[in-house]
A and B are shown apart, each in its own frame.
Chain A
Amino acid sequence: QKEVEQDPGPLSVPEGAIVSLNCTYSNSAFQYFMWYRQYSRKGPELLMYTYSSGNKEDGRFTAQVDKSSKYISLFIRDSQPSDSATYLCAMSANNNDMRFGAGTRLTVKP
Chain B
Amino acid sequence: KAGVTQTPRYLIKTRGQQVTLSCSPISGHRSVSWYQQTPGQGLQFLFEYFSETQRNKGNFPGRFSGRQFSNSRSEMNVSTLELGDSALYLCASTASPGNTIYFGEGSWLTVV
CB-nearest residue of chain B relative to A44?
B103
**Residue in A43, A96, A97 whose beta carbon sits within 8 Å of that of B103 in the complex:** A43
* Interface core residue of A41, A42, A44, A88 (most chain B CB under 10 Å): A44
CA distance A21 to B56 in the complex (A): 29
CA distance A14 to B34 in the complex (A): 36
Q: Which of B14-22, B40-48, B72-80 contacts A (4 or more CB under 8 A)?
A: B40-48
CB-nearest residue of chain B relative to A103?
B42
A46-B100 in contact given A96-B33, A96-B55, A97-B58 (Cβ < 8 Å): yes
Contact B56 A96 (CB under 8 A): yes
Chain A residues with CB below 8 A from B108, complex form: 41
Contact B100 A43 (CB under 8 A): no
Interface positions, chain B 45-90, Cβ under 8 Å from A, are 45, 48, 55-56, 58, 90
CB distance from A76 to the nearest CB of B (A): 20
Interface membership of A94, Cβ < 8 A: yes
- Mark each residue of chain A from 36 to 61: 1 if its CB lies under 8 Å from any CB of chain B, else 0: 10000111111001000000000000
Chain A residues with CB below 8 A from B103, complex form: 36, 43-46
Contact B45 A98 (CB under 8 A): yes
Contact A95 B43 (CB under 8 A): no
CA distance A34 to B99 in the complex (A): 12
- Mark each residue of chain B from 88 to 105: 1 if its CB lies under 8 Å from any CB of chain A, else 0: 001000000111111111
Chain A residues in the interface with B (C-beta under 8 A): 34, 36, 41-46, 49, 88, 90, 94-103
Chain B residues in the interface with A (C-beta under 8 A): 4, 33, 35, 42-45, 48, 55-56, 58, 90, 97-106, 108
